[in-house]
């Protein structure tokens, strides 16, 4: 599992206003906390979501459940490999 601490979304994640039915999504739980007087968020990857072939839903596979019951789904972006 990946844990990234940022002020916004997980590092290396692009934002998109629409979801194509062929793209998988990563599932995260987000914990808000304060450090040095600054509000921060810790993103922990807890699973994935794969679109149905008809584009009308997702199969969600989780390795963990969030304590607060909230799951953030973000389009998956492959990590770039070092050259």
Task: Give the closest residue to 24 by CA, choosing from 78, 79, 81, 80.
Answer: 78
60/32 Cα distance (integer angstroms) = 24
Residue 28 counted as domain residue: yes
Residue 40 counted as domain residue: yes
Q: How confident is the model at residue 3, as a pLDDT?
A: 54
Q: Which domain holds residue 67?
A: 3-7+22-75
Residue 14 counted as domain residue: no
Residue 83 counted as domain residue: no
Query: How many domains is the chain built from?
Result: 1
Q: How confident is the model at residue 15, as a pLDDT?
A: 42
Residue 62 counted as domain residue: yes
Provide the 3-class DSSP secondary structure of residue 52. coil
Residue 43 counted as domain residue: yes
Residues with Cβ within 8 Å of 55's Cβ and at least 6 positions away in sequence, in order, are: 21
Residue 33 counted as domain residue: yes
Mean pLDDT by groups of 10 residues along the chain of 83 residues: 51 46 88 95 96 94 95 90 66
Residue 15 counted as domain residue: no
């Amino acid at each position: 599992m990946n844990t990234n601490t940022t002020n916004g979304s997980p590092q290396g994640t692009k934002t998109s206003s629409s979801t194509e039915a062929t793209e998988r999504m990563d599932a995260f739980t987000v914990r808000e906390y304060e450090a040095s007087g600054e509000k921060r968020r810790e993103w922990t990857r807890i699973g994935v979501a794969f679109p149905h072939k008809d584009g009308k839903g997702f199969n969600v596979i989780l390795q963990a459940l969030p304590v607060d019951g909230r799951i953030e789904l973000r389009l998956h972006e492959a990590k770039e490999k070092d050259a």
